[in-house]
A and B are shown apart, each in its own frame.
Chain A
Amino acid sequence: METTIGAIVRGDREVFPPYLYSAYRATVARSPGQPLLDVPLTLTELTGPGPAVSEAMELAEIDADLTRNAATGGEALGQRIIVTGRVLDERGEPVPGTLVEIWQTNAAGRYLHRNDQWPAPLDPNFLGMGRCLTDAQGTYRFLTIRPGAYPWRNHPNAWRPSHIHFSLFGPATVSRLVTQMYFPGDPLLSLDPIAQAVPEGARHRLVAVYAHDITEPEWALGYRWDIVLRGAEATPFEV
């Protein structure tokens, strides 16, 4: 099937996917038809909700433990994994104290969401959502289970690769990122139009690295995945 790749891209064309990528069918009716308007960055874009949201957030350690935060007393089924990494800006500086929110399927590939009705079992001990704040080094850390692949109706025999959704604020409106983390060696990656929409040179940025130094013996396998956000690129004028 021929893929139409649209020309409208937000930000860095070498890194970000285009809005129109016809192999991902839902983009056909939802991608903007008009080019994005270039505008200067004002105080509105250079500030953003990240710091205020972090300040107001009261988190407990359990919020970052998806194996237990369903609070049923039981533990989620599946391969226990540690997912950790640093949130950095494009200068390589850490982004401390920023909120990281994740969501994912259970081990069988089912979301705890009323719109996911494919016949894979639900896990009564798994919600599939977690959050934490990055520490002073910009490090986030989650304990979860490896998500399963799930089928979707984009094209015949379509399956999303195993993935974890990530949402981050960062310091500015322009830092805001929603993305997906994939796992190394997944044969479904090369068949997935959502991942393939990312330009080839940047696609590897979405794939976690197995990290034996993070793996804890008799406990959990470790994956490392660093996330690079746009920082505040300019200082607004002093008033």
Chain B
Amino acid sequence: MLTPSQTVGPFFHIALARVGDGQNVMARPETAGTRVRIEGYVYDGEGAPVTDALIELWQANSYGRYRHPLDQRELPLDPSFTGFGRCATDEAGMFWFETIKPGPVPFDERRLQAPHISVTVFARGLLNHLVTRLYFEDEPANAADPILQLVPEARRRTLIARRVMGASHLTYRFDIRLQGTDETVFFNV
């Protein structure tokens, strides 16, 4: 029998996300790929910001290789990149990451997935975490992504990060709505 989950609670910062620990800066200057900033807000069902959430990202490197024993494909590992990031939301409910745009990874022998980042959400009030994905707005491969195609069309936009125009660096905005209007699609995985 699996061990059941419980909420992360409001005091996780002391162990998981100490102030200034830099876990949300996933790319170093020497990391290969297109550097992107991802920022967003977490909202609850009343539209209030969730100021005590924990967001985790997991992604492939710019070549589309995961740093993991199950991924032994003939693509380079980037020694300066693990693919994992963590960020606690601040008092405005905001999180941010600096990373590189992931390369596409396969879905099966025939098809590729569009570039995406796996996103996990923990918070007080969540008895189990939530899993979703972030896709990039200006990515043509989204149209053929096998997972996105499973999402009801009206809700697909909740998984697409929007390009922020006028920012000094390439920036995407990705909000997470736990409940209610424009609720983010969460996966049963």
Interface residues of A (CB under 8 A from B): 9-12, 15-19, 21, 24, 26-49, 51-53, 55-56, 90, 101-103, 111-113, 115-116, 127-131, 165, 167, 171-174, 176-180, 194-195, 197-199, 202-203, 205-206, 227-230, 232, 235-237, 239
| In-complex Cβ contact of B58 among A35, A44, A203 (8 A) | A44
Q: Does B48 contact A (CB under 8 A)?
A: yes
Whether the Cβ atoms of A129 and B128 lie closer than 8 Å is: no
A10-B131, A15-B2 provided; 16 other pairs, C-beta below 8 A? A16-B5, A21-B127, A31-B125, A31-B179, A41-B189, A42-B113, A42-B147, A44-B60, A44-B113, A47-B58, A53-B82, A113-B11, A167-B8, A167-B15, A194-B7, A230-B2
Question: Smallest CB-CB separation from A88: which chain B residue?
Answer: B3
A203 CA / B58 CA spacing, docked (Å): 30
Q: A31-B125, A177-B3, A178-B129 are in contact. Are A49 and B11 (CB under 8 A)?
A: no
Q: How large is the interface on B (under 10, 10 to 19, 20 to 34, 35 or more residues)?
A: 35 or more
Residues of B within 8 A of A198 (CB): 4, 6
Q: A11-B188, A47-B68, A195-B6 are in contact. Are A116 and B105 (CB under 8 A)?
A: no
Interface of B is mostly: loop
Whether the Cβ atoms of A51 and B68 lie closer than 8 Å is: yes
Shortest distance from the beta carbon of A236 to any chain B beta carbon, whole Å: 6
Whether the Cβ atoms of A44 and B178 lie closer than 8 Å is: no
Residues of B within 8 A of A116 (CB): 11
24 contacts between A and B (CB under 8 A): A10-B131, A15-B1, A17-B127, A18-B127, A21-B127, A29-B125, A29-B179, A30-B45, A34-B185, A36-B186, A37-B186, A39-B188, A40-B146, A43-B66, A43-B71, A43-B106, A47-B71, A52-B67, A111-B11, A172-B70, A179-B4, A180-B6, A198-B4, A202-B4
